[in-house]
Structure 1
Amino acid sequence: MSFPKQRSGSRCRVCGGPVSEFFDFGRQPLSDAFHEQPPADELFFRLAVGNCSWCTMVQLMEEVPRDRMFHAGYPYLSSGSAVMRDHFGKVAGRFLETELTGPNPFVVELGCNDGVMLRTIAEAGVRHLGVEPSGGVADLAAAKGVRVRKSFFEEQVATEILAQDGPADVIYAANTLCHIPYLGSILRGVDALLAPDGVFVFEDPYFSDIVERASFDQIYDEHFYLFTVRSVQAAARPYGLELVDVERLPVHGGEVRYTLARAGGRRLAPAVAELLAEEHERRLTEAETLAGFGSRVEGIRERLVTLLRELKAKGKRVAGYGATAKSATVLNYCGIGPDLIPYITDTTKAKQGTKTPGSHIPVLGPEAFRDPYPDYAVLFAWNHAAEIMEKEVGFAGVGGEWITYVPDVRVV
């Protein structure tokens, strides 16, 4: 095994303020490092999370090298869920009806993945560019007719895009910005590329929802930042950007869509002040709240492991459902391996025949789940619960029961 170099000091990556650690998940692997045989030098790091006392940005205490996480073999596909396909179709339609109505508009997406959003933009004949560092999914986007640049987005890349294509009316990112520790370079790039009246729109997991639901598996290597309205405001201000709107989203267990524009360029929506007030009332990043979150997480671990051990002692067959990136946090923090969950089923072909990072549980295709059905299934893809349960009616039909752990351990 190997460990990445620990980030020196405990200073905020956004404002330079002091960062106080509030929870440590221990040794964790790269969350998307699925291998047929785990390598001898499997990378582990210390997954700990803290918050800045100045700007309140919640962030990981250690950074994993970006090229180890996002590469040609990156296995996540945004279009893998019908719910998300519908979501991104609506995002594209909304942009086409609002921000992309002027003469020869231009939209840039950071982390376009397999092109699920930009495909609709391309089919409408609108100028666009996806900036995607993971070559495999970038190729899938290109095959759909999406124009893609294979690179990480940062200030230099933004200036090159500006020189070639001109300013962007919309810069968009979904489940991407929170992945990027070098946020300052991103925002400088946005400042360079964004048209005078353009918008930077991004959506990411909302820390308030994570605390409320104790959805601790949203904390893993790829989620370097966990945003709040207050911390986004603070991060944007030094770059001449202003948070002008926010919108709560139900996807991925609770997200917020943030809209930034050049300072003073647009009217602030009432939703910004409303959500700020709610964060203040909840004392979201205060020590007492964060300590309470940690206690709930520890309780979930104890109850989940106890339940799995009891089911094993009774001779019950237990499987996992959804070899998600976030399942790495659950499995490794809880010490769950093949002895308690013999396999996890997943529809992603690239993951089938591999083993989960760190915990080394075999990942099998859907046929293994259905022939025969297990007695219980731990739902790691809990953010797609409704879609999955509707799909797997046969499991419930033979008496199968789901095990969930957000917001607490339950058998349903």
Structure 2
Amino acid sequence: MSENPLCRVCGGTLREFIDFGRQPLSNRFVTPETLPKETFFRLATGICESCTMVQLMEEVPREEMFNEDYPYVSAGSKVMREHFSAIARRFLETELTGDDPFIVELGSNDGTMLKTIAEAGVRQLGVDPSDGVAQMARDQGVSSLTAFFEKSTAEEVLAAHGHANVIFAANTLCHIPYLDSVFQGIKLLLADDGVFVFEDPYFAEVLRRNSFDQIYDEHYYYFTARSVRELAARYGLELVDVERLPVHGGEVRYTLAHAGARTPSPEIDRLVAEEDELGVASRETLDAFATRVMTVRDDLVRLLRELRDEGRRVVAYGATAKSATVANYCGIGPDLIEFVCDTTPAKQGRLTPGSHIPVRPVEEFHASYPDYALLFAWNHAEEIMAKEQGFRESGGKWILYIPDVGVH
């Protein structure tokens, strides 16, 4: 291992606990023409021995990951559409009830959440660095700024629109290594009685579920209640509430306010106590996690090779960002997986990052059902399995690898 970098939050010492080796950009689906330009990096994760923030050991330049070709859209899942509609309605009923309220969403993507806000006639602004999805938001009547959010962005928004009653981010904050400038911007833009609400994958849940594929290039940080409380305090903010969420394999919604502006919920201390009991920051827990991950890798490769040798057809379902970690860490390529089906047009006709498995429309899955389907999009398992009853009725079986490898 090379000399460890320092914590991007507090400057403390990072201790590496898992290394997934050489990995591609998880959302950079390639063509035969672009294969020679494919970018790789070392995907390893460490924990700060001072503030307990879990983070990647190496940063991938943000411009390489988030640009106009970024293929993920929030509206692609019915579960997520309903999820964002619910939080939008909650904001309208609670935080956005005053005189001419204003909400800003960081990483607003295609405007799925803000669309509900806009339809209610409330001032809103989405900030997203990927102009392709930002334009999709504009097409739905959502105000969108194509930019990376940092202090200078906050200054521009403040001058043009005034303070925000709510700043919201979903599956975005964990993507941003430069939190110093982001939090300076949030502190500046947030109204005195406003709230900054963000939700991201919960590291304690990653450990509990063994969902190691939540670790990929775009997820730079892996939050816990304890580390978020430490983070907030560094910028004159305070963690005032936490809420467990079932989406994306287990997340937490964190609510921050200016220090002293609101009374913290007792749920925070309860969640921190749970984390301590689980030992999320302990060397023993993290080393045990790394061992379980290696077991999943070995078991999954063994199963896929056995099925191939038996002449079984195996495809994968869901060309997700996190599947890049699984495929490349396990060495799963087109020799083991015939193709990956996905509903996202921007991914179809391309090859998966690093592993180079063809991505095809879901209609090809329906046209000739395989014997087995490896469910990369396991966090949408209930929704997908309900939709794909025909596969099960044809005798098909699902392969899952979280928390361990099994055939269902």
TM-score normalised by the chain length of structure 1: 0.98
Q: Does 1:49 align with 2:45?
A: yes
For residue 70 of structure 1, what is the aligned residue in structure 2?
66
For residue 316 of structure 2, what is the aligned residue in structure 1?
320
Q: Aligned AA for 1:63?
A: E
Q: Does 1:29 align with 2:21?
A: no
What does 1:258-277 align with in structure 2 at a 5 Å threshold? 258-277=254-273
> Following the alignment from structure 1 to structure 2, what is the Cα–Cα distance between the partners of residues 82 and 135?
23
Task: Answer yes or no: is the 8 Å Cα contact 1:320–1:344 preserved in 2.
Answer: yes
4+ runs of 1 displaced by more than 4 Å?
A: 6-9
For residue 390 of structure 1, what is the aligned residue in structure 2?
386
Deviations 1:179-230 (A, max 9, x none): 0000111110000000000000000000000001110000000000000001
**What secondary structure sits across from 1:202 in the alignment?**
strand
TM-score normalised by the chain length of structure 2: 0.99
Cα shift at 1:41: 2.3
Cα shift at 1:57: 0.2
Deviations 1:231-260 (A, max 9, x none): 101111011000000000000000000000
For residue 372 of structure 2, what is the aligned residue in structure 1?
376
What does 1:342-361 align with in structure 2 at a 5 Å threshold? 342-361=338-357
Deviations 1:157-182 (A, max 9, x none): 00111111000000000000000000
For residue 203 of structure 2, what is the aligned residue in structure 1?
207
For residue 16 of structure 1, what is the aligned residue in structure 2?
11
Cα shift at 1:89: 0.2
> Following the alignment from structure 1 to structure 2, what is the Cα–Cα distance between the partners of residues 255 and 82?
18
Cα shift at 1:8: 7.8
Task: Answer yes or no: is the 8 Å Cα contact 1:10–1:20 preserved in 2.
Answer: no
Q: Aligned AA for 1:201?
A: V
CA change 1:83–1:7 in 2 (3 A) is farther
* Equivalent position to 1:127, from 96, 104, 123: 123
Task: Answer yes or no: is the 8 Å Cα contact 1:19–1:51 preserved in 2.
Answer: yes
Task: Answer yes or no: is the 8 Å Cα contact 2:4–2:15 preserved in 1.
Answer: no
**What secondary structure sits across from 1:402 in the alignment?**
strand
Task: Answer yes or no: is the 8 Å Cα contact 1:158–1:193 preserved in 2.
Answer: yes
* Equivalent position to 1:216, from 212, 229, 232: 212
> Following the alignment from structure 1 to structure 2, what is the Cα–Cα distance between the partners of residues 381 and 56?
29
**What secondary structure sits across from 1:204 in the alignment?**
strand
> Following the alignment from structure 1 to structure 2, what is the Cα–Cα distance between the partners of residues 315 and 281?
46
Unaligned runs of at least 5 residues, structure 1: 1-5
Q: Does 1:227 align with 2:223?
A: yes
Q: Aligned AA for 1:257?
A: R
For residue 87 of structure 2, what is the aligned residue in structure 1?
91
> Following the alignment from structure 1 to structure 2, what is the Cα–Cα distance between the partners of residues 384 and 271?
27
> Following the alignment from structure 2 to structure 1, what is the Cα–Cα distance between the partners of residues 250 and 153?
31
Q: Aligned AA for 1:114?
A: D
> Following the alignment from structure 1 to structure 2, what is the Cα–Cα distance between the partners of residues 57 and 9?
15
> Following the alignment from structure 2 to structure 1, what is the Cα–Cα distance between the partners of residues 131 and 307?
42
Unaligned runs of at least 5 residues, structure 2: none
What's the Cα RMSD here? 1.0
For residue 132 of structure 2, what is the aligned residue in structure 1?
136
Q: Aligned AA for 1:260?
A: L
> Following the alignment from structure 2 to structure 1, what is the Cα–Cα distance between the partners of residues 204 and 159?
39
* Equivalent position to 2:187, from 176, 186, 191: 191
For residue 151 of structure 1, what is the aligned residue in structure 2?
147
Task: Answer yes or no: is the 8 Å Cα contact 1:7–1:61 preserved in 2.
Answer: no
For residue 163 of structure 1, what is the aligned residue in structure 2?
159
For residue 401 of structure 1, what is the aligned residue in structure 2?
397
Q: Aligned AA for 2:14?
A: V
Deviations 1:374-411 (A, max 9, x none): 00000000000000001000000010000000000010
How many residues are matched? Answer: 407
Deviations 1:49-103 (A, max 9, x none): 0000000000000000000000000000001000000000001000000000000
For residue 109 of structure 2, what is the aligned residue in structure 1?
113
> Following the alignment from structure 1 to structure 2, what is the Cα–Cα distance between the partners of residues 385 and 125?
35
**What secondary structure sits across from 2:157 in the alignment?**
helix
Q: Aligned AA for 2:271?
A: L
> Following the alignment from structure 1 to structure 2, what is the Cα–Cα distance between the partners of residues 172 and 271?
20
Q: Does 1:297 align with 2:293?
A: yes
> Following the alignment from structure 2 to structure 1, what is the Cα–Cα distance between the partners of residues 202 and 4?
26
For residue 3 of structure 1, what is the aligned residue in structure 2?
none
Task: Answer yes or no: is the 8 Å Cα contact 2:210–2:292 preserved in 1.
Answer: yes
Q: Aligned AA for 2:189?
A: L
CA change 1:13–1:7 in 2 (3 A) is farther
